[in-house]
């Protein structure tokens, strides 16, 4: 069985053997039958999922253009089901993520510093929300924490997504807020 590391995904932009630009059928042959597949009601993009690991592809070329999981925030009772994944072909090594636990922005930065992983903090021009970008182009995105019992937003930014969407990431639309040491 193949182990796919989220750390390696962040560092390389490759989800194990699956790469941006790969034909969807080749990816499915490597990862096994997805849990579901959809065209999302759109004519240009389709997608398939393994748990909440989403692979989006162009409907004409069938080439993968984005890989993500945007269900990392511990905002539901079955949080582990959102990112702990295994089938008969592969399992996901979740790096530092733990079921039922949020990771605040500074916690993630501390982990990256401790592991000596280079990164940049970026934000879209005109927005306040900061993201962590790896040399691979993979982004960690953050959302405000929401109390699952009261629904109140706490204001603390916590990790909610890991994604690699090179076609949608236009460097000119981002400003670098911080660059870690190499």
Best CA proximity match to 47, nearest among 17, 24, 18, 71: 24
Residues 57-114: pLDDT tens digits? 998 899 999 999 999 988 777 777 888 999 999 999 999 999 989 999 999 999 999 9
> Does residue 4 carry a pLDDT above 80?
yes
Model confidence, pTM:
0.91
Q: What is the tens place of the pLDDT at every residue in 122-167?
A: 998 888 889 999 999 999 999 987 766 677 777 789 999 999 998 7
Local confidence band at 116 (pLDDT 50, 70, 90 cut-offs): very high
pLDDT of residue 147: 66
Q: Are 140 and 159 in contact (CB under 8 A)?
A: yes
What is the average pLDDT across 14-37? Answer: 97
Lay out the sheet containing 45-50: strands in order across.
36-38, 45-50, 53-58, 64-69, 153-164, 139-146, 130-133, 120-124, 174-179
The confidence score (pLDDT) of residue 171 equals 78
């Amino acid at each position: 069985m193949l182990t796919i590391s989220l750390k390696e995904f962040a560092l390389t932009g490759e989800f194990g053997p699956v790469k941006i630009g790969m034909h969807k059928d080749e990816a499915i042959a490597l990862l096994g039958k997805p849990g579901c597949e959809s065209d999302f009601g759109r004519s240009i993009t389709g997608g398939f999922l393994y748990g909440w690991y989403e692979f989006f592809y162009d409907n004409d070329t069938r080439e993968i253009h984005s890989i993500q999981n945007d269900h990392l925030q511990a905002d539901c009772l079955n949080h582990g089901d959102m990112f702990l994944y295994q089938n008969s072909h592969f399992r996901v090594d979740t790096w530092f993520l733990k079921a039922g636990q949020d990771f605040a922005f500074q916690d993630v930065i501390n982990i990256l510093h401790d592991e000596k992983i280079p990164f940049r903090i970026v934000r879209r021009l005109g927005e306040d929300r900061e993201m962590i970008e790896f040399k691979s182009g993979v982004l960690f995105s953050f959302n405000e924490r929401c109390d699952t019992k009261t629904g109140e937003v706490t204001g603390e930014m916590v990790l909610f997504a890991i994604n690699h969407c090179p076609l949608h990431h236009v460097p000119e639309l981002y400003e670098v807020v911080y660059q870690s040491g190499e």
